[in-house]
Amino acid sequence: MTRSVQPTARCSRIAVIPVDAQLAAYLTSTFILAITPGATTAVVVRNALARGTRGGLIAACGAATGNTLQATIAALGVTVLLERWPVAGDVVRLAGGAFLMWLGGKSLWRAAARREPRGAVASRANGTASGFRQGLFVNLLNPSITSFYVAVVPAFIPTDAPRWYYWPLASAHIVIAFACHTGWSLAFGRLGRAASHPAVARGLEVIAGLVLLGLAVTVFTSRP
């Protein structure tokens, strides 16, 4: 009887290890993806430079809302439509690239202005809704985030896991991404306050604009 019990105990221990290792691998890869600068990071940094830390945090909240909506759509199975009709995926991709191009062009247009218009400080304080919308739509129109929730998250769900197991994994990504974007907001919000000189501000706007335009080109030329 002793010999028959030992293999069962060993098998139970071995069965637990892949789940733990799989979860650790998911959290690690999610953190790497979240900390790597991308379109969402550029939008958050742009708002932090323009409106301070608060502006960056509001854009980060919009991005987190976009992630939540993307995860919900994927969980409801609506994204199956994108697989059956690839044209719909192309529309989302092109819309996302156009949105990034619009943001980049807007930054370059502001940088081209000779001086900051009157009431700009007030407009920055009142432009928080714009920052939220930018964070929201840059994630809603981001095909890479759609692919993450459709393909990556389900790949880390154990075969014997319940259906609700998807939500802790998706929530972990939302929280990790928001934490990373909060860090960017704090760092560049301070930089934005320090760079009060018009020439420095224009230079930062140019950099942000060029980065966003480059990301737009990448989205346009990418293939699902």
Q: Looking at residue 59, what is its pLDDT? A: 95
Q: How far apart are CA 222 and CA 224, in angstroms?
A: 7
Residue 160 maps to a domain: yes
Q: Give the residue among 184, 152, 173 at the shortest CA–CA distance from 30.
A: 173
What domain range includes position 193?
A: 38-221
Q: Give the residue among 104, 91, 181 at the shortest CA–CA distance from 143.
A: 91
Confidence band of 215 (pLDDT split at 50, 70, 90): low
Task: Give percent of the chain with pLDDT exceeding 70.
Answer: 65
Residue 65 maps to a domain: yes
Indicate the number of domains in the chain.
Answer: 1
Q: Looking at residue 119, what is its pLDDT? A: 40
Could you write out the DSSP letters of every residue in 60-113? Answer: HHHHHHHHHHHHHHHHHTTTHHHHH-HHHHHHHHHHHHHHHHHHHHHHHHHHHS
Q: Looking at residue 17, what is its pLDDT? A: 38
Residue 56 CA to its chain's centroid (Å): 13
108 versus 200: the higher-pLDDT residue is 108
Q: How far apart are CA 167 and CA 117, in angstroms?
A: 46
Residue 97 maps to a domain: yes
pLDDT at 65 over 60: yes
Phi, psi of 173 (to 5 degrees): -65, -45
Residue 11 maps to a domain: no
Residue 210 maps to a domain: yes
Residue indicated by tokens 């991709």: 93
Residue 13 maps to a domain: no
Q: Looking at residue 144, what is its pLDDT? A: 82
pLDDT at 28 over 80: yes
Residue 44 maps to a domain: yes
Residue 131 maps to a domain: yes
